[in-house]
A and B are shown apart, each in its own frame.
Chain A
Amino acid sequence: MSIDLTVIWALIIAFGIFAYVVMDGFDLGIGILFPRFQPGEGRNRAMNSIAPFWDGNETWLVLGGGGLFAAFPLAYAIILPATYPLVIAMLLGLVFRGVAFEYRWRDEKHRPFWDMAFMGGSLVAAMSQGMILGALLQGITVVDRAYAGSWFDWLTPYTLLTGLGTVAGYALLGATWLVWRLDGDVQQKARGLARKAALATAALMSAVSLYNLELRPEYAARWFTAPEVYWLAPVPMATAIVALLLWRSLARGESAPFWYALGLFLLGMVGLGVTIWPNVVPPSITIWDAAAPMRSQVFMLIGVALTLPLIVGYTAWAYWVFRGKVGGEGYH
């Protein structure tokens, strides 16, 4: 019973992280690409296309952190000190990114500054998130329920690679979102950016995947050992197919590129999940080691069961209210 709940909670946290990554991913991606758009119309429309949603999107990050704290307190207590400078950098990046939404409208003289803050904050947050992921995957030294490494363990070529991969992936999500939600010249601009981001994402995703096989022997074993290989092999194949579909859709697609980009992220998450399973903090802490006691799991599961459908419902409603092209002639 307790084992089942722990797995359920791992899936819930994974869902929360996935929801965050794709939803704030396109916000942060737009931030990363922001300077590529013309001041004035281009930037304003790009910003307006996410202004009603960014706060809700960012809330999934709080669910990811809060959920980890609640369901796997030991993992929370190890990962955050281990990646301390990255977490602080991410938080400060998100401060600049978040206030820029309001501040840039307050004083035209300051707008170029807040546009840069929007870009810089988004870039730092994305890079930090990718590097935290890398630091987790490469393994964290733990002694007696506490982080026992040094405070630069998180800085390696591998984590730089995962950081860049995340930046490219978010840029792809952001660009495809803009393709969907804008029209005219700005949309064309976004298509061009989406192509570049797609190439960068494909290259970096492949590089990280290959590096994973070198990183820890158990990761390679997971992917190449006999019975597993048969049902795991479709994951990279599906990823390649989705990447191709994405590329083809970029020429004319409206919402299609965004959904393919989302599919790419989903497959990437599945791949990562397969790689580290059943650990939550590689190489030694499993989800069962880190899990909260059953009473905590049950209590929270009731809350999730009651609220998550509502949350998904009113979030979807909010997206629906602000559907369609933002600005321009095609808007109704």
Chain B
Amino acid sequence: MFESLDAILLARIQFAFTVSFHFIFPAFSIGLASYLAVLEGLWLKTGKAVYLDLFRYWLKIFAIAFAMGVVSGIVMSYQFGTNWSVFSDVAGPVIGPLMAYEVLTAFFLEAGFLGVMLFGMEKVGRKLHFFATLMVAAGTFVSAFWILSVNSWMQTPTGFELGANGQFLPGPSWIEIIFNPSFPYRLVHTVTAAYLTTAFVVGAVGAWHLLKDKANAHARKMFSMAMWMAAIVAPIQIFVGDMHGLNTMEHQPAKVMAMEGHYESHPDGAPFYLFGIPNDEEQRLDYAVGIPKLSSLILKHDLDAPIEGLDTVADDEQPPVFMVFWAFRIMVAIGVAMMGLGMWSLFARMKGRLYDWSLLHRAALVMGPSGFVAVIAGWITTEVGRQPYVIYGLLRTADAASPLDAPAVAASLLAFVVVYFAVFSVGTWYLLRLMAAVPKPHGAGGKQGENTPIRTAGITPGPTQNPGEGDTLPQSVLVKKEEVQ
């Protein structure tokens, strides 16, 4: 018994580890694919070279991030079966088809057009290349649509019937399954988060180069675009997040109680805790610091509205509060900081100081990775908050795992940790190096020979695949040049 519990804990850690690592890349590539589509579209519309330069600059970065997302994503598609076989067996008839649709409508779309997007600029013409970029961007969004539908169904299952063999079977309407109650909120919140995450990365890269050279036109352009996103989208995201929270309160009240740290019910107005150490044993929030009645105002829009606490939920139905409570606070704090930076940039723009206020640039630089932290914190909030269930209220996580021995799962977990840290750290380092390269007009100061060491498969695999890329020497001549060197 003890050993089987251990194996489940290890399987949970493995899933959390691999999915957290994985989600970092789509969070970036969903936004970046759209950004690239916007850049290419602006280039086609205005003919301004700066957009094409920025497109090429971010395309290299996209290629690496996308590759990391693909390889870590395939792991996810198999992990349901390897480690959660009971879940796969019983939920397969309902969520399997949604995941099949993700493959059919999103993964193939992205992958099919990615080759043309990365390599085909001079082979297919501008319009068709733009179409390929749009298809890749659409694919990333459609992928989010289906996988978030699956996740949302697990949080708020609807539209199913229970079969005699214990399986969840689809009911008469797939619409009820796909558009389950939490799905629209989760979809908008997550995709908006991806856009914000990307905007803050782009903003930080722009800021970094502005700190070195205020006059760099490319850095100015990307910083300005990113700050527009921050100023407009961050407030929208806070509003969307609030709606999502209200939806959660309706369908998964225990999760909201954990997010709020409300062990006790508050019959006449609940406080919003800024700080506290959740203590599940004693069912109380230690060292609590809170603002009276604010939680009632946020959740019910009424200072004196009664709010129920975890004392209304049986102990074995409660999520672990500590992680949910703190992950939620980290996410919210970052969201507020993002909005703050956006407002600051508006102010700087009004004063005409957007490009020479180095404190603003420093702040944007520091905020560069904040989107990643926020999305992971958000996922921890929602995934830990729905425990102890994997299908909310119906299938417990502890009952969903594969019949594997603890040593097998421990070995695979160790392998994942070692490989992921090694491979993705190196990849991140390559990304940072690309981001540190000064964005400049195409062809300026970069001869082919100089580019050779970092010549990407995606950008200049050889003039035959990309004749527009500076030199148009045939491959054989280039090879001879390399040999001479």
Residue ranges of A at the interface with B (Cβ–Cβ < 8 Å) = 40-41, 44-45, 47-48, 51-53, 55-56, 58-59, 61-63, 65-67, 69-71, 73-74, 76-81, 84-85, 87-88, 91-92, 94-99, 101-108, 110, 145-148, 151, 292-293, 295-296, 299-300, 303-304, 307-308, 311, 314-315, 318, 321-322, 326-329, 331
**How far apart are B262's CB and chain A's nearest CB, in angstroms?**
38
**How far apart are A18's CB and chain B's nearest CB, in angstroms?**
16
Please count how many residues in chain B sit with their CB below 8 Å of the partner chain's CB atoms: 91
B464 & A327 in contact (Cβ 8 Å cutoff):
yes
Contacts A/B (CB < 8 Å), 10 sampled: A44-B461, A59-B108, A74-B92, A76-B81, A81-B83, A103-B426, A107-B454, A295-B172, A300-B100, A328-B476
**How far apart are A183's CB and chain B's nearest CB, in angstroms?**
10
Interface membership of B80, Cβ < 8 A: yes
Q: Which segment of B117-125, B296-304, B312-320, B338-346 sits at the interface?
A: B117-125
Point out the residue from B169, B419, B453, B476 that lies within 8 Å of A107, measured CB to CB. Answer: B453
B81 & A65 in contact (Cβ 8 Å cutoff):
yes
Complex CA gap A47/B419 in Å reads 23
A81 & B402 in contact (Cβ 8 Å cutoff):
yes
Point out the residue from B123, B423, B479 that lies within 8 Å of A95, measured CB to CB. Answer: B423
B104 & A84 in contact (Cβ 8 Å cutoff):
no
Give the residue name and chain of the B residue nearest to A67 (CB): B100
If over half of A's interface residues share one DSSP class (helix, strand or loop), that class is named, otherwise mixed; here it is: helix
A58-B74, A73-B96, A95-B419 as given contacts; A53 in contact with B115, CB under 8 Å: yes
Report A-chain residues with C-beta under 8 Å of the C-beta of B454: 105-107
Report B-chain residues with C-beta under 8 Å of the C-beta of A44: 461-462
Interface membership of B77, Cβ < 8 A: yes
Report B-chain residues with C-beta under 8 Å of the C-beta of A74: 89, 92
Apart from A73-B92, A328-B475, list 16 A-B contacts with CB within 8 A: A51-B118, A55-B111, A62-B107, A69-B96, A70-B96, A77-B402, A81-B404, A92-B419, A97-B71, A98-B70, A99-B68, A102-B430, A103-B427, A146-B85, A293-B169, A303-B100
Report A-chain residues with C-beta under 8 Å of the C-beta of B64: 102-103, 106
B120 & A321 in contact (Cβ 8 Å cutoff):
yes
Complex CA gap A332/B75 in Å reads 39
Interface membership of B44, Cβ < 8 A: no
A299 & B113 in contact (Cβ 8 Å cutoff):
no
A331 & B108 in contact (Cβ 8 Å cutoff):
no
Q: Mark B404-427, 1 if CB is under 8 A from A, else 0.
A: 110010011001100110010011
A52 & B100 in contact (Cβ 8 Å cutoff):
no
Interface membership of B31, Cβ < 8 A: no
Report B-chain residues with C-beta under 8 Å of the C-beta of A307: 104-105, 108
Interface-central residue, B71, B107, B403, B430, by most chain A CB under 10 Å: B71
Complex CA gap A61/B97 in Å reads 16
A296 & B423 in contact (Cβ 8 Å cutoff):
no
Complex CA gap A95/B88 in Å reads 24
Report A-chain residues with C-beta under 8 Å of the C-beta of B416: 88, 92
A81 & B97 in contact (Cβ 8 Å cutoff):
no
Complex CA gap A76/B78 in Å reads 9
**How far apart are B438's CB and chain A's nearest CB, in angstroms?**
17
Q: Which B106-141 residues sit within 8 Å CB-CB of chain A?
A: 107-116, 118-120, 123-124
Report B-chain residues with C-beta under 8 Å of the C-beta of A105: 454-458
Interface membership of B163, Cβ < 8 A: yes
Interface membership of B348, Cβ < 8 A: no
Residue ranges of B at the interface with A (Cβ–Cβ < 8 Å) = 63-64, 66-68, 70-75, 77-78, 80-83, 85-86, 88-89, 91-94, 96-97, 99-105, 107-116, 118-120, 123-124, 163, 165, 167, 169-172, 174, 402-405, 408, 411-412, 415-416, 419-420, 423, 426-427, 430, 433-434, 452-458, 461-462, 464-465, 474-476, 479, 482-483
A62-B107, A314-B112 as given contacts; A292 in contact with B457, CB under 8 Å: no
Complex CA gap A69/B90 in Å reads 11
Report B-chain residues with C-beta under 8 Å of the C-beta of A104: 457
B119 & A146 in contact (Cβ 8 Å cutoff):
no
A106 & B96 in contact (Cβ 8 Å cutoff):
no
Interface-central residue, A51, A65, A73, by most chain B CB under 10 Å: A73
B408 & A70 in contact (Cβ 8 Å cutoff):
no
B457 & A47 in contact (Cβ 8 Å cutoff):
yes
Complex CA gap A292/B165 in Å reads 12
**How far apart are B372's CB and chain A's nearest CB, in angstroms?**
19
Report A-chain residues with C-beta under 8 Å of the C-beta of B415: 88, 92
Report B-chain residues with C-beta under 8 Å of the C-beta of A103: 64, 426-427, 430
B88 & A58 in contact (Cβ 8 Å cutoff):
no
Interface-central residue, B86, B114, B171, B403, by most chain A CB under 10 Å: B403
A73-B89, A106-B456, A296-B97 as given contacts; A48 in contact with B461, CB under 8 Å: yes
Complex CA gap A256/B216 in Å reads 54
B75 & A91 in contact (Cβ 8 Å cutoff):
yes
**How far apart are B229's CB and chain A's nearest CB, in angstroms?**
26
**How far apart are A84's CB and chain B's nearest CB, in angstroms?**
6
Complex CA gap A94/B189 in Å reads 31
Point out the residue from A47, A51, A84, A329 that lies within 8 Å of B412, measured CB to CB. Answer: A84
A96-B423, A103-B430 as given contacts; A77 in contact with B86, CB under 8 Å: yes
Give the residue name and chain of the A residue nearest to B453 (CB): A108
Report B-chain residues with C-beta under 8 Å of the C-beta of A147: 85, 402-403
Point out the residue from A77, A108, A296, A304 that lies within 8 Å of B88, measured CB to CB. Answer: A77
Give the residue name and chain of the A residue nearest to B173 (CB): A295
Give the residue name and chain of the A residue nearest to B427 (CB): A99
